[in-house]
Structure 1
Amino acid sequence: MPSISRRNLLRAGVGFGAAGALGLPAGAGAQARTRPLRLGVLTDMTGFYSNIGGPGSVEAVRMAVEDFGGRVRDLKIEVLQGDHQNKPDVGSGIARRWIDEQGVGAILDVPTSSVALAVQALTREKGVVAIYGTAASESLTNEECSPTGIQYVYDTYSIAHVTAKATIADGGDTWFFVTADYAVGHALEKSVSEVVAASGGKILGAVRAPLGTVDFSSFLLQAQMSKAKIVAFASAGLDTVNAIKQAQEFGLVNGGQRLVGLLLFLSDIDALGLDAAQGSLFATSFYWDADEGSRAWSKRYFERMRRMPNDVQAGLYSATTHYLKGVQAAGPVGIDAVRWMTNNEVTDFFAKPGRIGRNGRLYKDMYLAEVKKPSESKGRWDCLKLVATSPAGQSFKSEADSKCKVRPI
């Protein structure tokens, strides 16, 4: 019998990226052609980042599937969820089982950059689509890019450029970092430090806080003693929430220092409360109250989750919809769907508009947000002021400057 290429198996609908691993016997084609298109939301369901992605990410993907009609190319769409516990081995293990045993065609969200990089290596090998919502590492669209990998919401480069440039322009030219001692914390500090230096600012110091730190007192004391105008938290999730809350208690803001959360989210502001978070600056790609379109979609999300969405959740809805359009137009083979996604503009309440570059980066406008004072807020979710817009071309590293060499799309 002549050999059958993996690509031809995929075009026949076998496994949507995992047919070779499944080893389907002769005669299994009819069953495989009716297999659902499965999307796996791989996220942190209970840990440090569960309020950023977690159940909210799963629900955003489900909303997109429902709004698409629940089917694509006459195939039922199913959404799976997995908790990677912020561990690369756990995350890659779940992803491998999904691909090899359940024929998952796309994996979405993937908080924690170390987990995302492990999943990137696996999906690159398997030819499966990976769409990153929460993962921030710029490496995903740079030296560790993949032909089927897409980083959709933000990255360390955009966070650094949007936040640092605007803050320095407003007089915040001396910085001190409280950095989470893991990959993305280090990447954020490095990226922001480069922008600060290039913009004429100075770094007065930095401290490393272990992931999951509860007591930040010693780190905040050093930040306070530095007299830096800006105290930047290169961390995310509960680490950032706890650090900012304790910084307010230590009197850093009352003493004239300004707090910058480099990976801060609407869900974090809600957890902190405006008393603790007021005046904090951070970069975001979406705010629910920005315009009529964002308000309309966010109201629907709120009816399901009883909380407003952050930029990760809005981005995952947009990404899922764009991916399903790609499958509808080009078929379920990962590279074909991604090629369609790259060659067609994203126009919706999230991107308005956006385009996916040949390095796998979604290029769209970013915003600098400032947390409102309690006296400025009209209600629980009325938290932010969008004080500056950063155009897509200035927010993200250009395709020409990317080290990505493996996307022949």
Structure 2
Amino acid sequence: MNRLISSTFALILVSGLGPAKAGPDAITVGVLNDLSGVYADLGGPGSVAAAEIAVEEFGPTVIGKPIKVLSGDHQNKADVGSQLARRWFDVDHVDMVIDFPNSGVALAVQEVARAKKKIAIYSTAATMDLTGKACSPTGFQWTYDNYSNAAGVASALVKKGIDTWYFLTVDYAFGLSLEAEASKAVKAAGGKVVGAARHPLNTPDFSSFLLQAQSSKAKVIAFANAGGDTVNAVKQANEFQIVQGGQTIVTPVTFITDVHSLGLQVAQGLTFVTGYYWDLNDQSRAFAEKFYKKRKAMPTMAQAGVYSGVLHYLKAVKEAGTDDGIAVAEKMRELPVRDSFTQTGSVRADGRMVHDMYLVEVKKPSESKAPWDYYKVLATIPAAEAFKPLAESECPLVK
């Protein structure tokens, strides 16, 4: 069966009520992501479960309409994602789309949602353009971005004297943007970028790229990729004994599912920034408990961001008294973001939701006391510092 057709109807859910059709008499949320590929673990079916939890918490209706959750697989292809979003908006009466673990897909859908005046929330896409030059009145970047996850780590390491960097970068919008933001931070702190290698999405073999990185003699090898690519790159770097040879590996965009896949013996010591950790506080643990019952795994920051985005959208619909995209977008910018993902969130004019971020380090096996007990929280990065200043935004809505 054609994957586009099957994914359009792959999973239609009403919280607690079983299968149902989307329609104009419902408020329908579409979770559009990678359900079966390189980003399936960090988002995928888990993001659908997170959206369900948000609906369960909010209640089954808003403005007198039942709330429904639809999901589809964009296959990491911009044309598939944009076609599916257009069909959802035009035929299936979807009101809001969320997730997008692929920046190329996200940028394509941003234009469809803009034209249709529909809400799009990007929990996983990290390119800065979504709230920069390609920003939209109805587009929102929720969980993290390439600035939040690259700038802080790069600056901190350079200041410690770990000041020469080499990048292994996935060759599309996300990776290129991540490399660019990290490079700016390295140079601003007085460091130097000595080279970069570009790899295809979902490549199985990193050996040639790792050999180039080793031979560069850079103090840091930064993996500007995510999901399965990060997992495979770290595993193969371990086989090459890169860390034992004196070089530091940095993985700016890392998810708890990556650490789980790698195991603490391999992942120990990895340092990165995250927007969510399940064991951070009572609120984060409350969401994690509900998620674990559905998925038998702890949520990633991307999945927690989907929960938060859906919940905030529904609150905005209630406050606006309508599902009109422009009116709801205005309310989303007005309302504070307070939920199990964040208690410090606010939405800026450019669509960036800013909130506290956390610098974490993966524990040694001996430090972990229970399943999924993986992170040591080293520092809280306040919302005002975690994201690129609004004054530096390229978003036309700001200027």
TM-score of the two chains, using structure 1 as the length reference: 0.89
Mapping 1:165-204, distance limit 5 Å: 165-204=155-194
Q: Name 2:323's counterpart in structure 1.
A: 332
Q: Name 1:106's counterpart in structure 2.
A: 96
CA contact (8 A) 1:259 1:279 kept: no
Q: Take 2:366 and 2:62, find their aligned partners in 1: how far apart are those partners?
A: 48
* Alpha-carbon shift at residue 309 of structure 1 (Å): 0.4
> 2:55 aligns to what SS in structure 1?
helix
The CA deviation string for residues 124-183 of structure 1, in whole angstroms up to 9 with x for no partner, is 001000001110111000100000000000111111212212222333222111111222
CA contact (8 A) 1:49 1:111 kept: yes
Q: Take 2:28 and 2:398, find their aligned partners in 1: how far apart are those partners?
A: 24
CA contact (8 A) 2:344 2:383 kept: no
TM-score of the two chains, using structure 2 as the length reference: 0.92
Q: Take 1:304 and 1:398, find their aligned partners in 2: how far apart are those partners?
A: 37
Q: Take 1:407 and 1:76, find their aligned partners in 2: how far apart are those partners?
A: 35
> 1:208 aligns to what SS in structure 2?
strand
CA contact (8 A) 2:349 2:397 kept: no
Mapping 1:120-269, distance limit 5 Å: 120-269=110-259
Q: Name 2:370's counterpart in structure 1.
A: 379
The CA deviation string for residues 255-303 of structure 1, in whole angstroms up to 9 with x for no partner, is 2222111221111110111111111111111111111221122111111
- Does the alignment pair 1:343 with 2:334? yes
322 and 200 in structure 1: CA distance in 2 versus 1, 3 angstrom threshold? same
CA RMSD after TM alignment: 1.5
* Alpha-carbon shift at residue 230 of structure 1 (Å): 1.5
Mapping 1:268-347, distance limit 5 Å: 268-330=258-320, 331-347=322-338
Specify which of 358, 361, 364 is matched with residue 349 of structure 2.
358
Q: Name 2:76's counterpart in structure 1.
A: 86
* Alpha-carbon shift at residue 94 of structure 1 (Å): 0.6
The 10-residue stretch of structure 1 (378-387 or 91-100) with the greater mean CA deviation from structure 2 = 378-387
Q: Take 1:393 and 1:266, find their aligned partners in 2: how far apart are those partners?
A: 25
Runs of 4+ displaced beyond 6 Å = none
> 1:104 aligns to what SS in structure 2?
coil
> 2:29 aligns to what SS in structure 1?
strand
* Alpha-carbon shift at residue 336 of structure 1 (Å): 1.0
**Structure 2 unaligned regions, length at least 5:** 1-21
Q: Take 2:175 and 2:370, find their aligned partners in 1: how far apart are those partners?
A: 32
* Alpha-carbon shift at residue 34 of structure 1 (Å): 6.5
73 and 91 in structure 1: CA distance in 2 versus 1, 3 angstrom threshold? same
**Structure 1 unaligned regions, length at least 5:** 1-31
Q: Take 2:353 and 2:335, find their aligned partners in 1: how far apart are those partners?
A: 12
Q: Name 1:66's counterpart in structure 2.
A: 56
CA contact (8 A) 1:34 1:75 kept: no
Give the AA of the match of 1:72.
V
Q: Take 2:282 and 2:30, find their aligned partners in 1: how far apart are those partners?
A: 30
Q: Take 1:146 and 1:34, find their aligned partners in 2: how far apart are those partners?
A: 24
Identity of aligned residues (%): 51
> 2:193 aligns to what SS in structure 1?
strand
CA contact (8 A) 1:365 1:389 kept: yes
The CA deviation string for residues 203-243 of structure 1, in whole angstroms up to 9 with x for no partner, is 12211112222111121122222222211000111111100
Give the AA of the match of 1:357.
R
Q: Take 2:398 and 2:297, find their aligned partners in 1: how far apart are those partners?
A: 38
Q: Take 1:39 and 1:396, find their aligned partners in 2: how far apart are those partners?
A: 27
The CA deviation string for residues 106-128 of structure 1, in whole angstroms up to 9 with x for no partner, is 00001111100000000000100
* Alpha-carbon shift at residue 201 of structure 1 (Å): 1.1
> 2:339 aligns to what SS in structure 1?
coil
CA contact (8 A) 1:236 1:263 kept: yes
Q: Name 1:11's counterpart in structure 2.
A: none
